[in-house]
Structure 1
Amino acid sequence: MEKLSIEMFIGGGSDVETKQYQVLHCLKEYYSELSHNRLYPAFKELVDVTSTLESLVEQKGGLDESFPQQLRGVDIEHHHLIYDSLTPADPDFQRVIDLIAWALPHLKKAVDEGIGIYHFVDEHVMIEEVGLMPVYKQEGYWAVPDTKDRKLYLLRYEVSLFSSSTERYRQLKTKVLETIELSPIRKTPEELKLEVIGKYHDLPNPAMYLCETDLDFPYESTILPIAKRKLMTQLYS
């Protein structure tokens, strides 16, 4: 699958029509992912590219037109255009801005479709505590169903901190401990927790959560990413 990128818009070597074709071709593949309810990584890529392009257009709008500058590149992390020193207006600069202005409505339409899928899944995914919970919940166990393939994933989770150049973030790391086949006769959540405590001894008094959903959407690309976001929200609510 060909991915959208900022370089597709600011790179040279192609005329506008060719670049428009490339963008539409990529969007067709993203729509295919969304039509199969495969939300990630397609949705995040769409949001990131759209957000960056919107920031670049806003930055262009704030430039003093009496002092035009030549576009040299883009700082993707900080959503900034990079210019050479003051020069006569560069026609390539305006072509970049025109291409972005043309593309944004198409990108926003795809993002809106992704948002609709995200909200639908979010409403059908529930996170529940299992049994008595400890005060410390930054590590624990988590059971997440793959309804489509009739499996239950038992995961070990851990919240970690990492930093960018400007901010600190929390990240939920997960590791698959085992996969259990879903059957009509299922253990209760409490029975499952007792079994986990008896089998895994690295956490003496572990937190455990159960994810529940009736959707048969793809596990890796949709159910798990949204469930992870919901678990993080619950851990810090």
Structure 2
Amino acid sequence: MNTLPVNWLTEGLLDFEYKKYLLLAYLQAAKGEFSRHRLYPVFSDLIMHYRNLQQVKEHKRLVYEQFPQRISRADFEKLELVYEKIVQDDETMEQIEEIIQYATPLFGQALEEGKELYDFVERHLEISPVGITPMYHNEGYLFLEYSPVKETQVYLYNITVFENTYEKYRGIHTQLLQTVRRGLALTHEHLKAQLIKERKEMPNPATFAAVASLPVPLEHSLLPIAKRSLVKYVSQLAA
């Protein structure tokens, strides 16, 4: 889809009409993705751009932690230097603030659409344990499927916990192991037993099934939301 550079506010021609054109083209493409029930990566990008605007508007600076991991520290430092120069130029800053004033509510509307789509998919996604759940939940198997497809995506998942001074965060990594076609004879419990038999390194794995009652794109919506929902579910088990 049509993407928006991280430093779109300062990159290229600093002109309100030009920036407006870039922004509207990007938002139109983003809403096109939502209309096809494709939430990621566009939703994450919208959040990043919106937070960037808020930081520039409120503090006249950028915060590295607000950017996705694909932005390196070196790239960020160069970008922040550009903004420091801009803040010192009153005329340039006036143009930047005009663009921010126009762009902020438009990003807000697009984010609201993305959130509605996220909530819609999440409401139609049910996560449940398969068999007896062990005390350790941060590693195991995730069975992912949606109606009316009879296939089950089998993932190995690993949840990592990292903290800063203020908060504790959980991240999740998944690896697709196989795709199986389930039937009456192959229940989730039977599939788990089969995995235990085949993969001796995990004799008592935590296993969860995430089943969606509506068809949405796997890579762009269902899997990312299932991963976040699983992290939330496991966090509640550990509380």
For the aligned pair, the TM-score class normalised by the smaller chain equals: 0.7 to 0.9
Change (3 A) 1:180 1:78: closer
Pairing 1:48-87 to 2, within 5 Å after superposition: 48-60=48-60, 75-78=62-65, 82-84=83-85
Query: Which residue of structure 2 aligns with residue 224 of structure 1?
Result: 223
- Residue 111 of structure 1 aligns to which amino acid in structure 2? L
Determine the C-alpha separation between the residues in 2 that align with 1:78 and 1:142.
29
- Residue 135 of structure 1 aligns to which amino acid in structure 2? M
3-state SS of 2:176 partner = strand
User: Deviation at 1:90?
Assistant: 2.6
Counting matched residue pairs gives 222
Change (3 A) 1:35 1:181: same
3-state SS of 2:9 partner = helix
Q: Which runs of 5+ in 1 are unaligned?
A: 61-73
Please list the CA deviations of residues 69-111 of structure 1 after superposition, one character each: whole Å capped at 9, or x if unmatched. Answer: xxxxx53515678425996x53111101110111111111111
Equivalent residues of 2:56, 2:62 under 8 A apart: no
Determine the C-alpha separation between the residues in 2 that align with 1:170 and 1:134.
19
- Residue 56 of structure 1 aligns to which amino acid in structure 2? V
3-state SS of 1:134 partner = coil
Between 33-42 and 48-57, the greater mean CA deviation after superposition: 48-57
Pairing 1:190-229 to 2, within 5 Å after superposition: 190-229=189-228
3-state SS of 2:8 partner = helix
Provide the alpha-carbon RMSD of the alignment: 2.6
Query: Which residue of structure 2 aligns with residue 24 of structure 1?
Result: 24
Q: Judging by fraction of residues, say which structure has more strand.
A: 1
Q: Provide the TM-score with structure 2 as the length reference.
A: 0.83
Determine the C-alpha separation between the residues in 1 that align with 2:38 and 2:195.
31
1:8 and 2:34 correspond:
no
Q: Judging by fraction of residues, say which structure has more helix.
A: 2
For the pair shown, the structure with the greater C-alpha radius of gyration is: 1
Query: Which residue of structure 2 aligns with residue 100 of structure 1?
Result: 100
Change (3 A) 1:132 1:26: same
Q: Which runs of 5+ in 2 are unaligned?
A: 67-79
Change (3 A) 1:96 1:150: farther
Percent of residue pairs identical: 30
